Amino acid sequence: MNSTRMKIIIQDEWTSMNIEELFRNIWEFPKKVMHELRMDKAVSVNGQVINWNTPLKHKDEIIINLRESHDVDTPSPHPLEILYEDDYLLAVNKPAGMATHPNENEKNSLVNAVAYYLQSTEQIHKARHIHRLDKNTTGVVLFAKNALSKVVLDKMLNDRKIKRTYWALADGIIKRRKGDITAPIGRDRHHPTRRRVSKTGQQAITHYNVLETFLKENLSLIECSLDTGRTHQIRVHLSYIGHPLSGDKLYGGSAHFQRQALHARKLEFTHPFTLDNIQVIAPFLDNPPIFEQFL
């Protein structure tokens, strides 16, 4: 097992709380994790191992020594655009044609590229993605740098405290400028990878806002946000309302582009350990360009 040190400075809002309250109520660490940290005496404050019920002061320094697995993803060198990085997390810009995480036959995923970046910068961390993008969708993907960061960020994502905004070019002129698509999504029995709107599927809600329409090209530039994160959600929902993503052959889109015109444009959240307001915007990566010509 490797050991990773995680340093957290007590913010003014947490003054007078104790370690127990911070771990349980603010960051909602699992009971098993808290038990292991307590048994390992893995938590110190200003260099001292203290009682977990001792009130904390503003700017106290908490150090958590984490037991980390040796199991690190295979590093694979690949150009990587880092959009945001600190001691706890990493946001990167995923290009088209790259899977978010590796499968049995493929080791050139974004996870492998991030593993290479971390190794090359002498950071002993396992790359842990918080969410995924389809292989041919571009944009920002968030990674945690240790197991505790992942627990907290996973919970934030699940509680919709991490806002993800997508830009898309949809076929046709969408008449309604703003709308919500509420339709459950399930597997398509007739296709191994396709999804479809299905009464027996999982609840899925997509909000969209038409930014601009282009009559000549018969395209609508839209901004989407999700209340749920179902596989292919935006692609399925836009196809369902008769405006599939341009370039999305799987869901009936036109052949306007060589990939589905979907880009994870922005990520916004309050940093769980610094309380900073984080906003990450992902530049467009396509060559030849897809979105730039319509801005």
Contact 210, 178 (CB under 8 A): yes
**How many residues does the structure list for the chain?**
295
Q: CB–CB of 101/92 below 8 Å?
A: no
How many angstroms separate the CA atoms of 7 and 282, rounded?
Answer: 28
**Catalytic choice (60, 71, 86, 134):** 134
Tokens standing for 80?
Answer: 């990587």
Q: Is position 87 annotated as part of the catalytic site?
A: no
β-sheet bridge partners, residue 226: 206
The closest of 41, 46, 86, 38 to 62, measured between CA atoms, is 46
Residues 169 and 220: their CA atoms lie apart, in Å, by 6
Task: Please tell me the distance from the alpha carbon of residue 52 to that of residue 44, in angstroms, as a whole number.
Answer: 10
Give all strands (DSSP E) within 130-276, no chain letters: 138-144, 163-171, 178-182, 185-187, 195-197, 205-214, 219-226, 262-270
∠ CA 180-182-185, nearest 5°, is 135
Pairing verdict, β 128-129 and 138-144: antiparallel
Q: What is the DSSP string of 97-145?
A: T--SS-BTTB--SHHHHHHHHHHHTT-----EESS---TT-EEEEEEES
Q: Active-site residue numbers?
A: 134
